[in-house]
Amino acid sequence: MSIVTADRLSGPLDSDATAAPQLPAGHYTFAAALRSEWTKLRSVRSTTWSLVATAVLTIAIGILATGSEASRWTHTDLGDRLAFDPTSLSLAGFLFGQLAIGVLGVLVVSAEYGTGTIRATFAAIPNRTLVLVAKVAVFSVVAFVIGEILAFASFFIGQAILSGSAPTATLGQPGVLRAVVGGGLFLTVLGLFALGLATIVRHSAGAITTFVAIFFVIPLIVEALPSSIKDAVGKYLPDNIGATMTTVKPGFRTDVPTFSPWVSFGLLCAYAAAALIIGGVLLARRDA
C-alpha cells in the first residue's frame, strides 16, 4: 500500500518539478508606458532643476543682450544698425539654454542606468523599443511646451526692453514668427539628440561630456581653422543651426554661410534621429 501511494505521489511531484514555471503574461500598452515615463520625469528633482536652469539662462541672457544693445544704440554705427536683428537678439539666450535642456535629455535615460531602476522598467515592459519611444514622446512634449513658452517670453520681454531705444520687431513681420517658433523647436530637437546620446553611452557624465564637446568644443576648433574649411564645415554645426533658426536677418549671429532655416532644422532632426536610432538598436541588443 505504501509503495502504491508513493508511486502515485511521485508522478505529479516529478512533473511539477520538471515543468517550467508558468508566469502570467504581462499586459502593457503604449498608454501605460507613457504614463510611467511621465511619472518618472515629473517626480525627480533633476527635471525641475534642469527646466529652471533652462528658463533662467534663456530669459536672463536675452534680457542682458537686449538691455546692453538698448543702452548703446545711440552710439551704434550705420552698418550695425542696418544689420540689426531685434528678434534674434532677444532669443540670444537659447544658445546657452541648450546646455540645460541637453542635460535634462541625458538624464531622462542615464539616470535610470545610474540607479539601476532601468532593470525594473524593462521587467515591467520587456519591449525596450516601446520604452524608448515612450521616453521620446514624453520628453518631446515637455521640451516643446517649455521651449515655446521661453521663446515667446524672451521675444516679448526683449522687445519691451528695446522699445523706445532701438528698433523692435512684431510677430507679424516677415520671418519673425518663424524665428520665435524655431527657438522652441531648436531646444526640443536638441534635447532629443542628447537623449539619443545617453541611450548610446548609458552614463550621465560620459553623455554630458559628449554633448558639450559636440555643441561647444568642436565649434571652437572649427573657428580656428582656415576660412575655406570653416565655411564648408560651419553650416553643419549645431550652434550655427540654432543661430540660423532663431535669426530673421541672415548673418546676424554667425559669420559663416548657412543653410536656410528649415533646411537647417531638417539637418538637426537628422542628427537627433540618427542618435535615437543607433541608441535604440544598442538598447535592444545590450544587457540592462
Q: Is the pLDDT of residue 168 over 70?
A: yes
Residue 42 belongs to some domain of the structure = yes
Q: Are 161 and 67 in contact (CB under 8 A)?
A: yes
Per-residue pLDDT band at 8 (split at 50, 70, 90): very low
Residue 10 belongs to some domain of the structure = no
Domains of the chain: total: 1
Instruction: Report the C-alpha gap between 82 and 228 in whole angstroms.
Output: 27
Average pLDDT, whole number, for the chain?
86
Residue type at 8?
R
Cell readout for 185 is 523647436
Residue 20 belongs to some domain of the structure = no
Q: Which domain holds residue 40?
A: 28-285
- Of the candidates 191, 199, 190, the residue with the CA atom closest to the CA atom of residue 131: 199
Q: Is the pLDDT of residue 193 over 50?
A: yes
Instruction: Report the C-alpha gap between 203 and 113 in whole angstroms.
Output: 7
Q: Is the pLDDT of residue 87 over 50?
A: yes
CA distances (Å), origin 278, targets 200, 213, 243, 281, 282: 7, 19, 27, 5, 6
Residue 19 belongs to some domain of the structure = no
Residue 11 belongs to some domain of the structure = no
- Calculate mean pLDDT across residues 145-169: 94
Per-residue pLDDT band at 11 (split at 50, 70, 90): very low
Per-residue pLDDT band at 26 (split at 50, 70, 90): low
Please provide the distance, in angstroms rounded to a whole number, between the alpha carbons at the two ends of the chain: 54
- Calculate mean pLDDT across residues 37-43: 90
Instruction: Report the C-alpha gap between 28 and 201 in whole angstroms.
Output: 27
Residue type at 39?
T
Chain-centroid distance of CA 272 in Å reads 9
Residue 165 belongs to some domain of the structure = yes
Residue 13 belongs to some domain of the structure = no
Instruction: Report the C-alpha gap between 198 and 183 in whole angstroms.
Output: 23
DSSP label of 255:
S
Q: Is the pLDDT of residue 237 over 60?
A: yes
